[in-house]
Amino acid sequence: MDSLIINGGKKLIGDIPISGSKNACLPMMIASLMTDEKVTLKNVPLLSDVKTLISILESIGTNAVYINKNLSLHTKEIINHRASYDLVKKMRASFWVLAPLLAKSGYAEVSLPGGCAIGTRPINLYLKILKEMNINYTINNGYVVAKREGPIKGINFKLEKKSVGCTHFFLMLASLANGTSKLSNASCEPEVIHLGSLLIKMGAKIKGLGSKKIIIEGVEKLNSITEIIPSDRIETGTFAIAVSATGGKIKLENTNYEENKLLFNILEKTGSIINKSKNSISIEKTHNRINPANIKTSAYPGFPTDLQAQIMALMTISNGKSEIKENIFENRFMHVQELVRMGANIKLDKDRAIIKGVKQLNGADVMATDLRASASLIIAGLVAKGITKISRIYHLDRGFYNLDNKLNNCGASIKRISE
Ligand code: EPZ
């Protein structure tokens, strides 16, 4: 298993190319099952989650070829309707293949995704969508076995809570349904817009992407497409928070300001200087005073839960008291105890973390518990005095492409070791 050894105290200065978005890429790859023609995706980050999903698509019958960030996916015929537990358990979002399998072939056996470090990750809302669409399913031996008799019928459905995955799931099922569907309380995350735009370019008829009400008029079939994966807003936010903690100046290239507007406003209030230009954003921190901030995670355009662990690392060295409320996942504070090992002063009270800034974090041996927690510990290690060793770094490689080298190219001192 790999670990990272970080020698803290270095400022970050330099340019960082932002990679393609993991959370846009995964649903867009799954949407390739919606057509028997070729789908080519460009700027695909070769993350372990992407590799896991390629394996699942190949097991279903997709011919996948990845060359120099371009991924071509061609599923001439669905030869296997089963997405197995050993792959789905590695990457929960693979559960979403249930939608195109049902839309295209009418039958699917997909492993229940199971929970993960940040929560139980239930699928009750997905099952409600199937039921409303008259798609029969049973749950046997840890698998959802679903079969539809006849075409999927268009429905009006209101999500009882915001769910990005359920919005993706509904968009794919409804795109090939018989009739018109309306989804209320839909998620507005940029990734929903990216998936919906891909489907539209493939021939789907979708209106209202980015709003809470999406209308989909079902069509007969979807067609071949070539599309570019947009930049990763969570990677962008992670680097912006990192330089706000270490001091220095970085320029994030090929990325998008709008998708992280709220974060940049917060970082400016903590004392960073943010300048945007057409395709890049520069973040500068010229002094070591960090003002505290109170954060509440929520669905887009609120503060993203996927940046909660990272902003907490920044708040551990602010010159005041901050409060972070996690409203999306029930167990997304696994990084807290690891930060406390480094000298952070954090108290947990159910879904709230109260952080009292300290002058200095100290290097320590810590353990990554999940994807975004790994980034939080790296930010803490970058500012800590001395050496920090972060184990179980496979979590990081699920969702951040080459993050350690990108930071080293800006003056950080991070070594990856295999043990
Ligand atoms: C997506 O997960 C992202 N993953 C997550 O990013 C992100 O944190 C989350 O959306 C934000 O909402 C991908 O895009 C691959 P949800 P998803 O359905 O779709 C509850 C990362 O670090 N819920 O929006 O699985 C659920 O438990 C990952 O990149 C139900 O109760 O999340 C959660 O509390 C982590 N029943 C809330 O909804 C259901 O049937 C929002 O989850 C479905 C969800």
pLDDT for residue 116 is more than 90: no
Which residues lie closer than 8 Å to 232 by C-beta, 6 or more apart? 18, 19, 20, 21, 22, 23, 24, 45, 255
Backbone angles phi, psi at 76, to 5 degrees: -65, -35
E-strand stretches of 286-413: 295-296, 321-325, 345-349, 352-356, 365-367, 387-391
- Assess whether the C-beta atom of 305 lies below 6 angstroms from ligand 1: yes
- Assess whether the C-beta atom of 381 lies below 6 angstroms from ligand 1: no
Note the pLDDT of residue 120: 84
Which residues lie closer than 8 Å to 106 by C-beta, 6 or more apart? 147, 148
Ligand 1 pocket: which of 26, 126, 328, 396 to mutate (most atoms <8 Å of CB)?
328
Question: How far is the centre of ligand 1, averaged over its atoms, from the C-alpha of 307 (Å)?
Answer: 14
Question: How far is the C-alpha of 285 from the C-alpha of 306, rounded, in Å?
Answer: 23
Note the pLDDT of residue 361: 98
Q: What residue's CA is closest to ligand 1, atom 6? A: 306
Structure tokens belonging to residue 314:
């920044």
* Nearest atom, ligand 1, residue 329 CA: 34
72, 227, 230, 294 from 68: Cα distances, Å: 11, 15, 16, 41
Range name among 18-32, 43-57, 105-119, 272-286 with the lowest pLDDT average = 105-119
Question: How far is the C-alpha of 336 from the C-alpha of 338, rounded, in Å?
Answer: 5
Burial class of residue 76 (count of CB atoms within 10 Å of its CB; 0-12, 13-18, 19+): exposed
pLDDT digits (tens, 9 = 90+) for 139-175: 999 999 999 999 999 999 999 999 999 999 999 999 9
Question: How far is the centre of ligand 1, averaged over its atoms, from the C-alpha of 119 (Å)?
Answer: 9
pLDDT for residue 114 is more than 90: no
Structure tokens belonging to residue 220:
């007969």
pTM score: 0.98
Q: Is 25 a catalytic residue?
A: no
Q: Which candidate, 122, 121, 163, 125, places its Cα nearest to that of 299? A: 163
| Catalytic residue (one of 116, 166, 188, 410) | 116
Question: How far is the centre of ligand 1, averaged over its atoms, from the C-alpha of 419 (Å)?
Answer: 32
SS3 state at 165: helix
pLDDT for residue 253 is more than 90: yes
- Assess whether the C-beta atom of 122 lies below 6 angstroms from ligand 1: yes
- Assess whether the C-beta atom of 123 lies below 6 angstroms from ligand 1: yes
